[in-house]
Structure 1
């Protein structure tokens, strides 16, 4: 009798690769991903649609997008989130879940504040509420990323990243197409109506209950630090502060450079530029729809149908592909699809209003973003030392946003000067050097 053995190097079947999504720890990340994905569009592209419909200039909308730079600077306060306890809450829920609950409650309150504000009457108050949403959402991201990395070994990380991204992208559909659909549904004309947008944002605030409930259901991950002393040592307050500074801030950064040596700067360059094409284009997408004559209902209808399908396909496919091919290969695929999508936006700007072409663009945008973001999350998760999970991951994800978000702030000025066609072509072209960088790193790291 011949006994068939399976080599450790054999790839799992597609069915075996898919079963990992049935794990409870993976499902938890789906709902936390929804909680993380909901706020970002409410201070990004959905907000730009609201502002443009309210008569705010494209240049102002571009500068308004700098509110989202909160996500790029979260590494500054991530050491505090990583190490500090919250009175009463930490003792009740644990280190990660206490920060999750606090940030989720702050997000909910600030979204309600936006719903009760009018950008036409008091743009400053409106901006302050949006800023609170962004900073609280960035804090939630810090905690969820650390929670995910600490909750499971590396073999689960790709699936957890994919589940997280599926929930994240569905929330973005809800905050994007969903909020537009709600505003269109309660509006009795095509003209700007504050009440329609207020109702939409009140519903979005209610949707944050998904994350709050998940926080109570989730199990606090075990935390074991090799940096904590095995026996009590009596230190002065200054000595305790310096010890905390070393553990919370200096050690996470020095650890990364020690582990990756001369390749560290190339890795950081890839992290800092990977999503530049997508982010720079994103802030002007909804103002573009408004200027092209698309209604809230038309954009919402296409996004709800094709956006949801392609989001699920992109994130799920990205997770499965990562179990079969190298992370750099899927990073390249995602970045390439984003470049192609931006070129199609330029074609739409040339052709004019075309619902069929818009459907194709929204479909491609969601599937490419799903693959690219799932691959990117998996990539930076692998770079992260679990000892410094919150701080290092926050640094990497912040770097991903810092330069692209800054450049995106000038997108409205660029469109005013050169038009939408040149803008979309330019946003595609700046993504091409990223493809070369991925090829270079793949060759260096995988040799």
Structure 2
């Protein structure tokens, strides 16, 4: 098995699936997804948990800190640009390294430049500027995940094959999150926040030369040096344009919000819940027409809409409870990530203590949770595994209620962090396998991007209101509520268990 499968073409997928069918995913694929998980996990923590802690240490109001959680909404809408990654190449990079690797390399450059910009503005004297670079970091991190996810599903199409690959990917992802959280907080404690972001930016960029050194695409044209030069030039132009476009859109949004009287004192919870209901209402209106389409109708549609029509056609009205289920399942994980670090700060824990909780403790417990979750997802019926994961996720939130009422001590902090990381790692591994089983082999990247993005729409919308909710019910009330919402996903499991997709009747051999 050769690592040149990274271009994601059908030929490489077939080459990978042959040994996987008899001996499981090849070791090199597992190693590769460990690397890709690492690449995405490092920056994710830096625009999420580490940023909320940084803002809290700078005395930013808890409600405003909650608003910064909306930066993480960007991955929710990755389905909007996911089709572009399936249709277009990155000039220079893709010509030599293949389409999938080309997008990943561009994304890594975007991650590096955005994180350096966050380092240079680490004083947070201009919160709009902080938000701009955080959004750019979120965008390029998400783009990397989209490219990697589509390829993963092509290489491991069955439930049994997905388990090990997902576990390897999440080991890398959560391991990197732990390294980012622990390393950045420790660096901030000993140096400052600028150095914290610069160190993680360099670490996040390390996979780039590894990807560039791998064997080229079988259909590669030109020389490696020319491909790198052309890709870097193209990337510079794309990164500049994306930054300018993001700044323009952000300025417009802030101006509109100010004109509407929106501020940190506005009760945003009802608005958030109303927005969250809009996709369900729109889908309910569109479903009758989609269901009446003939089998295979998506083949004659525009490539930007065909993946979604095919998904809704296969599941019909069942897609509504499925989407409701996925919206609740990761609720606890998202809400914990939003306010756990401000809670630790408010409880009086030092940066050194938080660094240890985010480091060795979180790493060991997260890896154990991911490993056990991946194992159960491959061995148990998915519905049973999902039920166990929902309970584990709820407990992972409720442990913070216990922490809040204890006298601050390292033992209390480490126990709560360990249980949190184990439970959410466990539930996360099962959830990724479940989503991967919902997609069509014709549109793996786009459909997975939609499902995984939609799963975090409601949680991340509510996360933006987390600060406002906390001011009304306190930290203990907030984490009791977030755990209960995560457990509420089990209500949908009886419907999920009976969900059956319609078979798409197409001639044999046309699925590729």
TM-score interval, smaller chain: 0.7 to 0.9
Aligned residues: 400
Indicate yes or no: 2:93 matched with 1:97: no
Aligned to 1:246: 301
TM-superposed CA distance for 1:307, in Å, is 1.0
Unaligned residue ranges in structure 1 (runs of 5+): 1-18, 187-195, 224-242
Aligned to 2:354: 299
Match of residue 174 from structure 1: 179
Please tell me whether residue 347 in structure 1 is matched to residue 402 in structure 2.
Answer: yes
Residue 51 of structure 1 aligns with which residue? 55
Q: Does 1:27 align with 2:62?
A: no
Deviation digits for residues 125-163 of structure 1 (CA, Å, limit 9, x no counterpart): 221111110111111111110121123342421110010
Deviation at 1:200, TM superposition (A): 0.8
Partner Cα separation in structure 2 for residue 180 and residue 355 of structure 1: 16
1:369 to 419, 424, 431: 424
Residues 109 and 205, structure 2, Cα contact 8 Å, conserved in 1: no
For the pair 1:334 / 2:330, whether they are aligned, the reply is no
* Pairing 1:159–2:155 present: no
Inter-partner Cα distance in structure 2 for 1:336 and 1:119: 40
Look up the match of 2:202.
Answer: 206
Q: 1:409 maps to what in 2? A: 464
Query: Does residue 1:38 correspond to 2:42, yes or no?
Result: yes
Q: TM-score, normalised by structure 2?
A: 0.74
Task: Name the CA distance, whole Å, in 2 between partners of 1:305 and 1:390.
Answer: 33
**Do the aligned partners of residues 269 and 55 (structure 1) sit closer, same or farther apart at CA in structure 2, a change above 3 Å counting?**
same
Maintained 8 Å contact 2:97/2:217: no
Q: Confirm or deny that 1:421 pairs with 2:426.
A: no
Evaluate the alpha carbon distance shift between residue 443 and residue 357 of structure 1 in structure 2; reply closer, same or farther with a 3 A threshold: farther
2:19 counterpart residue number: none
SS at match of 1:248: coil
CA deviation string 1:266-288 (max 9, x = no partner)? 22221222111221232111111
1:323 Cα deviation from its structure 2 partner: 2.2
- Work out whether residues 396 and 424 of structure 2, in 8 Å CA contact, stay in contact via their aligned partners in 1: no
Residues 44 and 141, structure 2, Cα contact 8 Å, conserved in 1: yes
Distance 1:359 1:109 in 2: 33
Please state whether the residue corresponding to 2:301 is helix, strand or coil. Answer: helix
Where structure 2 has 5 or more consecutive residues not aligned to the other structure, the ranges are: 1-22, 220-297, 502-512
Match of 2:134 among 110, 126, 130: 130
- Which residue of the partner structure matches residue 444 of structure 2? 389
Report the equivalent of 1:256. 311
TM-score (norm 1): 0.84
Cα displacement string for residues 364-422 of structure 1 (whole angstroms, at most 9, x for unaligned residues) = 11111111111111111111112212211110111011111010111111112221111
CA gap of 1:213–1:382, structure 2 versus 1, over 3 A, is: farther
